[in-house]
Structure 1
Amino acid sequence: MTTTSISTVDALDALAVLADPVRRQLLHHLADRDVCTCGNLVDELGVGQPTVSHHLKVLREAGLVVGERCGRYVNYTAVPDRLRDLGAALTALGDRADARGAC
């Protein structure tokens, strides 16, 4: 079985965070760039600043993005290792399902 640094419960919690379409869009944008500010993301997604700020906060709390203050702005970026760990945890869960016996 695959070992990961994220538990199955944490992986499922992260998936719940990613159930929101705006959060998925934000994560896709951040995965394609080195850094983005909230203002950049507002312009690109066409949603309001409060909405983007809220969803970035949720993604940060889930460990999927990080923000680094640079003057009066915060530069956001995706956390590749966390995303890989999420994929590995789901793969491990699939492996467990393949290996299961009858109830």
Structure 2
Amino acid sequence: MKQTFFFFAISLSLNAQSITSDQLDNLKFRNIGPAVAGGRIHDVEVVPNAPEIVFIASASGGIWKSTSKGTMWKPVFDNKVVSNFGDMAISQSNPNIIYAGTGEQQNRQSTT
């Protein structure tokens, strides 16, 4: 039984399709509704003159920056007292300045 499962797992992984960056380049952001799904990201901001630079503000994980169109991410607000953000904006005059609104955007008292 274990050998059959192992063979099945190996054959699935060998036949798996890989995703290329060309396939990801054609994807567009879209609104999927008011639900907070997908890791509780509250805001996404893109630098207007450099669309490969993307910032996200998360509910409990701080602010993250990508310089690769979202392929790789690095935290930019670690080791601070506040880690939850509800909104964010990039300065129009200087894209190195980010305005961040702290606080839980989707606060509620129950889990149902």
What TM-score comes out, normalization by structure 1 length?
0.28
**Comparing both structures, which one devotes a greater share of its residues to helix?**
1
* Higher relative contact order structure (alpha carbons within 8 Å, sequence separation ≥ 6): 1
**Comparing both structures, which one devotes a greater share of its residues to strand?**
2
What TM-score comes out, normalization by structure 2 length?
0.26
Max radius of gyration: which structure?
A: 2
